[in-house]
Structure 1
Amino acid sequence: MIRKFAFSLGGFAAISAVVAARQGRQFAKALPNLGARSFRAAVWISCLTLWFAAALLPAMSEEAKLLNVSYDPTRELYTEINALFAERYKSHTGASVLFEQSHGGSSKQARSVIDGLQADVVTLALAWDIIAIERAGLIKPGWQEKLPYNSCPYTSTVGFLVRKGNPKNIKDWKDLTGPNVQVIVANPKTSGAGRWAFLALFGAVAGAKTHDPSTLEGLKESQAAARTARDFPVYDNAEARAAIETFYNHNVPVLDTGARGATVTFAQKQLGDVLLNWENELWLALDEFGKDKFEIVYPPSSILGEPPVAVVDEVVDKKGTRDLAEAYLKFLYTSEAQETVAQLHYRPRDVDALNKYSAELPPIPLFTIDETYGGWVKAHEAFFAGGALFDRIYRPAK
């Protein structure tokens, strides 16, 4: 489903270099001493607002259109981001921008783009889904190097939402496979949240090494470990395989196609004892349905979820929207966008913003897809491809 949001489009071109430099310095200060790779990211971030000022100098048409194909739970996030981005244009050209949003399970969304949905940008739940679009010839190789942090402007993690008082005493991953425990989770064949949840459970049971990426030291340690990882013993962990088989066949009564559907099933339809989902979805349930009904449980460790973004090259070159699309994605790294990210319970890359909201986004030991599993290509082939582990172990109820 595509939703349309119309905003006044003002020129971003005349934003002053003084403002640009000030905003850039805020990001640069937030990321000191991260090593060469992260220093380059800080330089990228420090130049973003100044880049906007030059990128869209040419007069634009009266109405520009941008289709963002995103994963399931980001409706609220991009509604806010779109409005902020539009404000950056409004004072100059007097034109308007029509934002179109499409949301659904991340893997299904990637398939829709491959099958012809004319996305200018994709903001999906995991790198594999954008890799699939790249392999279809719609996105040029090297897209992860075009923006800081492998083109992931924010992160998240996977946690538990339980009913008030935690009647089943759910505290750790192994508790999810206990008798008489029902867990609501998205389908890993269609949903990014479902895949991150699968990998979080598998890695935690296997004892994956964790870091604290909310600190500069932990971030450097995590990045270095990911770069040097060569062996991935987690794949051969028998206990983790047994836990996964038990979990999906005995503890999961229904697999929703996306993260938002899982939240609705648990919170509104009152099915299950635990919701296993994105952190922002857990907070959404608290905000929408009341803290008197649910509570969040953070397990001892979890996975660092990194949702990436990319311009769909073939589409923007055909539509003539490349400058707008690139500016839009770069805007996600600016201080005001990062503040919005944190307010909506995603984890911003801006360390200052993350620390500001630490009461709601507490530090938690996290393992990474790269260090633990060798990246998304390996993980997909081992777990989620046709005939891979999930297909072999899952026996849907008849």
Structure 2
Amino acid sequence: MKTPLLATALALTLAAPAAAQDRLLNVSYDIARELFEALNPAFAEHWQAETGRTVTIDQSHGGSSRQARAILEGLAADVVTFNQETDIDVLAEGGLVPAEWRDALPNGASPYYSLPAFLVRKGNPKGIEDWDDLAREDVAPVFPNPKTSGNARYTYLAAYAYGLARNGGDHEATQDFVRQIFANVPVFDTGGRAATQTFAERGIGDVLVTFEAETAQIAQEYEAQGFERVTPSISVFAAFPVAVVAQNAERNGSAEVATAYLDWLYSADAQRILADFDYRLTNETVAAEFAGSVPEVELVTVDEIFGGWDAVRAEHLADGGILDQVFVNQ
């Protein structure tokens, strides 16, 4: 028989409302696992302090273009944090993201950015310093398939931009240059994580081409192998765009927390975490704190060199486009 005091306590417990809880699915690019493992708990703490509610953030990682296709096929993402603007454009064309998604947040909805850079083996035995070294017959570069990986698409564009500079704007010569780089790649993985494993764990290739931020993390993860980071003379500004998948978020009742999550990525707290992962920052105050640790590089943009992403999609990425042409016999 329950005592009156125990019965009262049980009644109060049963009557107490459950703590409010939110849930998000963030669908992201392949190599961002560790980054969001650091960001998500910090946002959860911020969200609880702001609202008194807890939030669970689930993650899905893969090649950016494959992730976009998965969302179109039903993956119920509340937000996307991609490494390729065209992959969010695909979602906008599918009606899942507003057409004006770039205007929803500062800096074209890109809270941070990076650029394609190199990671070489200890001592840099092949003397790899710039993009033209990747076209040498004795060098085997490793990067994923640009058809499935936003990471590799930036690699392709950066190599093409360098080729144009080297060849005085001659597109035919530049395509021959990029074709030679592609011919030297021993295996095309579908995403950046698999390419890293090919280089670091399978010991294939002389240089891994990936985002600058990722080169730092890989060098740290595989410290015993003594990998060295190399910044090429020219590279392409790589935005990391984010968006609320509005159709899913409305259906899931997560629109408020989804919007707050992406807003928070611009905050000083989030930007310092991003800096710890060697991303370049859009918050100028925090960027100034880390200015001395950022290598100098000539950064060009997709707009400057290629006429914007619409032109890239039409001229380079479409079936039968320039990317397919340099992929011949690969």
Could you tell me the TM-score, scaled by structure 1's length?
Answer: 0.75
SS in 2 for 1:342: helix
Counterparts of 1:234 and 1:320, CA distance in 2? 53
Aligned equivalents of 1:118 and 1:314: distance in 2? 9
2:174 to 240, 247, 251: 240
- Contact 1:60 1:93 survives alignment (8 Å): no
Distance across 2 between alignment mates of 1:94 and 1:152:
28
For the aligned residue pairs, the C-alpha RMSD in angstroms reads 2.0
Matched residues, number:
314
Q: How far, CA to CA, are the matches of 2:82 and 2:170 in structure 1?
A: 29
* 1:381 counterpart residue number: 314
CA pair 237-93 structure 1, distance change in 2 beyond 3 A: closer
The more displaced of 85-94 and 181-190 is 85-94
Q: Which amino acid aligns with 2:324?
A: D
SS in 1 for 2:128: coil
CA 346–291 in structure 1, closer or farther in 2 if over 3 Å, else same: farther
Contact 1:259–1:278 (CA under 8 A) maintained in structure 2 = no
1:194 corresponds to which of 126, 131, 152:
152
* TM-fit CA distance, 1:235: 8.1
Unaligned runs of 5+ in 2: 1-16
DSSP-derived class of the 2:295 partner = coil
Instruction: Judge conservation of contact 1:156–1:305 (CA < 8 Å) in 2.
Output: yes
Secondary structure of residue in 2 paired with 1:200? helix
Give the structure 2 partner of residue 131 of structure 1: 89
Mapped to 2, the partners of 1:153 and 1:99 lie a distance apart of: 19
Identity of aligned residues (%): 39
- Once the two structures are TM-superposed, the CA of residue 204 in structure 1 deviates from its matched residue by 1.0
Contact 2:116 2:155 in 1 (8 A): yes
In structure 2, relative to structure 1, the CA distance for the partners of 1:82 and 1:123 (3 Å cut) is: same
Q: Which residue does the alignment assign to 1:116?
A: 74
Letter in 2 for 1:279: E
**1:365 maps to 2:298:** yes
Name the residue aligned to 2:10.
Answer: none
SS at 1:73 equivalent: coil
Contact 1:67 1:119 in 2 (8 A): yes
Residue 88 of structure 1 deviates from its aligned partner by: 1.2
How far apart are 1:253 and its partner, in Å? 0.6
Partner of 1:175: 133
Aligned to 1:338: 271
In 2, are the aligned partners of 1:130 and 1:310 still within 8 Å (CA)? yes
Q: 1:66 maps to which residue?
A: 24
1:88 corresponds in structure 2 to: 46
Corresponding position of 1:260: 193
The Cα shift of 1:161 comes to 0.7
Cα distance in 2 for partners of 1:125, 1:69 equals: 11
Distance 1:391 1:339 in 2: 39
> How far does the alpha carbon of each residue in 1:187-244 deviate from its partner, in whole angstroms, 9 at most, with x for none?
1000011100000000011119xxxxxxxxxxxxxxxxxxxxxxxx998622211111
Report the structure number with the largest CA radius of gyration: 2
Task: Supply the AA of the counterpart residue of 1:245.
Answer: R
Kept after mapping to 2: 8 A contact 1:71/1:103: yes
TM-score between the two structures when normalised by the length of structure 2: 0.90
Report the Cα offset of residue 317 of structure 1.
1.3
| Corresponding residue to 2:259 among 315, 319, 326 | 326
* 2:81–2:243 CA contact under 8 A, matched in 1: yes
Amino acid at match of 1:107: S
**Is 1:355 equivalent to 2:295 in the alignment?**
no
SS of equivalent residue, structure 2 residue 36: helix
What is the alpha-carbon distance in structure 1 between the residues aligned to residue 32 and residue 192 of structure 2? 10
| CA positional deviation for 1:292 | 5.5
**Does the Cα contact within 8 Å between 2:44 and 2:56 map onto a contact in 1?**
no
Note the 1:250-329 alignment, pairs <5 A: 251-290=184-223, 293-329=226-262
What SS class does the counterpart of residue 272 from structure 2 fall into? helix
Q: Which is further off, 114-123 or 378-387?
A: 378-387
Shift of 1:245: 1.1
SS at match of 2:124: coil
Secondary structure of 1:64 counterpart? strand
For 1:277 and 1:141, the matched residues in 2 are separated by 29
